[in-house]
Amino acid sequence: MAISNGQTIYMKLEQKTYNSEAVCIRPDDELIRTDIAAYLKKHDQKDLLRFLTCGSVDDGKSTLIGRLLYDTHMVYEDQLAAVLKDSKVHGTTGGGFDPALLTDGLKAEREQGITIDVAYRYFSTDKRTFIIADCPGHEQYTRNMATGASTCNLAIILIDARQGVLTQTRRHSFICSLLGIRHVLVAVNKMDLVCWSEKVYEQICKEYNSTCAARLGFSDIHFVPISALHGDNVANKSVNMPWYEGSTMLHHLESINIVTDRNLIDMRFPVQYVIRPNLDFRGFAGTVVSGVVRCGDEVISLPGRKTSRIKSIVTSDGEISEAVAPASVVLTLNSEIDVSRGSVLAPIRNQPRVDDEFEAMIVWMSEVPSEIDRSYLVKHATTSVPGQISKVRYKVDVNTMRKAEAVSGSSDGLRLNDIGRCHLMLHRPIAFDPYERNRATGAFILIDRVSNLTVGAGMIMDRVTQEKRAPSQSRNISRMGSLVSRGEREAILRQRGCTIWLTGLSGAGKSTIAQQLEKDLIEAGHVCYILDGDNMRHGLNKDLGFSAEDRSENIRRIAEVASLLNDAGIICIVALISPYIRDRARAREIINQSRDGNKDRFIEVHISTSLEVCEHRDPKGLYKKARSGQIQDFTGISAPYEPPENAEVIIDALQMTPHESSAFLTDIIRKMGII
């Protein structure tokens, strides 16, 4: 037997028997005898899949991993002999081979027959290498499960065929979704205990789809019936379930495509160390956590906001022209700018957000509850910043996957294993992305500054509830009244002021319909004006970007302008994506709080063109730029759009022409008594 690169290599095909358990040992790879360097290179170039097993207690997670190791011949002979010996004492199979003991390494785990801590195991096949995280199923070890899931590409969620979908199944599914795992393999285990019933399997699949999958953001869900103890459909096709025509679990793990999961659009390079061996060299060491960096790229150092270009990319093997995540390299720049440990280098045209506050979902890992405004150390990428939780907006009941009642005050913060949405404020700004877009720059941990223990793990949210420390408003101002009444304006204009708010995706047809409506109303003798989103950003709102808070401020300003136009009796037509329900509700509130006493001035119109149609139209070429990463936070692609729930008017731009849409809206406001 020869050992190389962490793998056990057997020099000949043999079969041994331990207590009636056949141990099949794979034949030697010819490359080992002829060219060991080629063999190592062959296995070094295989891609890596990290996955975890989770589910309720006694669903068979450790047994499944043990079976995978056993069937892929990744168990040492002495280790197998020790497990067979322990199976007689601690096993759950009546003295026979218990695969679970291959992963339950702690003495307490073997004695209790449960998994307590996350156990990591490595194995390899001819197609791919794997790192498995065997996560505990007990509710009290939820924090351990979250730790194991944080680096995984795929989750195997086990369900006991006798029990069906349990509370802990939903709990772990929610945590996997929260931590950004896109691929899920639902393994219905212990099929041998339900007589290999196809009906039971189909019922469980249906139940999981309706109770879990429908509420969570998994992009890929695959089901497989197995018996981990006996190996059915694990590595080999089961003869006991001929009705199942899908692939085995191992085949699915070997063939699943995870290349698209990597973020190769947003280049982020957190600087870990400044290398200055002499006066002629100043390099910045770190890992390209996402995207691709090339020589000559124009980059910005954040949060300092100094710009330069990549001069060279240095590795231990010499200089290279480009580096792809997750390469560890040293970058040098053309100019001497302020860059230090904790800085983030990013493309000028694709920058992360820089702020000293954000909102995040936090998994609390300490037995000491969180405290509002208590100072913690926020460890993010390569920097550590003092900060505090200023507010716990709500907790999530992971059993029902619904929000619990919002909490406030330090007496009711997050407790051990709680998950909640929190607002954090830092002592200085950092550069970050939403966790959903970029795990590396969207994750952080909270460290107790006294005990130095990790107390929480957080995922930064895409949307942010505005909570800036605004300057205090002067008390020496008051509203001015008018000597002209609403009735006098209406009599002159023969109309009533209102706002027709057109919302929808980019390319839905908002501006086209707005222009036609304005033209038709003007020709009919009515006074109206369009507030177009693009036009407003050329003037009043040119200082705003496209982050969640800037979008909110953009909408607030437009709503304030529309309200003033309505006070003057003018019909205001707003053509604006306005993607969030909350922001449109705020605009409605601003416009309806009129000084002329009219409380019904806001008319929400949803231009309900689908994303596929909008992207096909792409009149400004924005979708193409967003797909290529040139535009960040683009609605429908990298930022969400929340369609109205109770819009006054819904227009399908595929069914109605702009002329028909204008006539339809004109008829509606006429019936409302506006014209």
Q: What is the CATH number of the domain that holds 623?
A: 3.40.50.300
Q: How large is the average pLDDT for residues 265-285?
A: 94
Question: Are residues 253 and 330 located together in one domain of the fold?
Answer: no
| Residue 373 resides in a domain | yes
- Kindly report, residue by residue over 598-629, the tens digit of the pLDDT: 667 999 999 999 888 998 888 888 888 888 77
Which tokens sit at 640? Answer: 């969400």
Q: Which residue has the higher pLDDT, 59 or 313?
A: 313
- Kindly report, residue by residue over 576-588, the tens digit of the pLDDT: 999 888 899 889 9
Share above pLDDT 90 across residues of the chain, in percent, rounded to a whole number: 45
HEC profile of 150-175: CCCCEEEEEEECCCCCCHHHHHHHHH
Type and span of the H or E element at 568: none
C-alpha to C-alpha distance for 608 and 211, rounded to whole angstroms: 28
Among 198, 151, 141, smallest CA distance to 171 is for: 141
- Average pLDDT of every residue of the chain: 82
| Residue 475 resides in a domain | no
| CB neighbour list of residue 88: distance below 8 Å, 6 or more residues apart | 95
Question: Are residues 531 and 409 located together in one domain of the fold?
Answer: no
The phi and psi torsions of 189 (rounded to 5 degrees) equal -95, 170
| Residue 152 resides in a domain | yes
pLDDT at 636 over 90: no
CB atoms under 10 Å from CB of 477, counted, come to 7
Question: Are residues 254 and 273 located together in one domain of the fold?
Answer: no
Type and span of the H or E element at 33: helix 30-34
Question: Are residues 337 and 448 located together in one domain of the fold?
Answer: no
Question: Are residues 300 and 359 located together in one domain of the fold?
Answer: no
| Residue 181 resides in a domain | yes
Among 581, 617, 607, smallest CA distance to 503 is for: 607
584: phi > 0 → left, psi -120 to 50 → alpha, else beta; which? alpha
Residue 3 has what pLDDT?
A: 35
Residue 408 has what pLDDT?
A: 44
Question: Are residues 303 and 158 located together in one domain of the fold?
Answer: no
| CB neighbour list of residue 458: distance below 8 Å, 6 or more residues apart | 360, 361, 362, 363, 422, 424, 443, 444, 445, 446
Domain endpoint, select from 325, 347, 369: 347
Residue 362 has what pLDDT?
A: 93
- The confidence band for 141, taking pLDDT boundaries of 50, 70 and 90, is low
Question: Are residues 358 and 418 located together in one domain of the fold?
Answer: yes
Domain endpoint, select from 426, 460, 494: 460
Residue 214 has what pLDDT?
A: 66
Residue 512 has what pLDDT?
A: 94
Q: Which residue has the higher pLDDT, 555 or 171?
A: 555
Domain carrying residue 413 = 354-460
| Residue 603 resides in a domain | yes
Q: What is the CATH number of the domain that holds 322?
A: 2.40.30.10
Ranges of H-type helices in 524-621: 533-538, 548-567, 581-592, 611-617
- Kindly report, residue by residue over 62-111, the tens digit of the pLDDT: 788 888 888 887 766 666 666 666 655 555 555 456 666 666 544 444 44
| Residue 628 resides in a domain | yes
Residue 596 has what pLDDT?
A: 54
Tell me the CA end-to-end span of the chain in Å, nearest whole number: 91
pLDDT at 651 over 70: yes
| Residue 303 resides in a domain | yes
Q: Read off the amino acid at residue 323.
A: A
Question: Are residues 615 and 666 located together in one domain of the fold?
Answer: yes
Question: Are residues 250 and 208 located together in one domain of the fold?
Answer: yes
Domain endpoint, select from 212, 233, 260: 260
C-alpha to C-alpha distance for 316 and 294, rounded to whole angstroms: 17
C-alpha to C-alpha distance for 230 and 67, rounded to whole angstroms: 8
The total number of structural domains in the chain stands at 5
pTM over 0.75: no
Question: Are residues 227 and 280 located together in one domain of the fold?
Answer: no
Residue 62 has what pLDDT?
A: 79
The strand pairing partners of 225, in sequence order, are: 188
C-alpha to C-alpha distance for 626 and 621, rounded to whole angstroms: 9
Residue with tokens 């991993």, as numbered in its chain: 65
C-alpha to C-alpha distance for 404 and 415, rounded to whole angstroms: 14
CA 363 from chain center: how many Å?
Answer: 15
Question: Are residues 337 and 361 located together in one domain of the fold?
Answer: no
pLDDT at 181 over 60: yes
Question: Are residues 372 and 330 located together in one domain of the fold?
Answer: no
| Residue 439 resides in a domain | yes
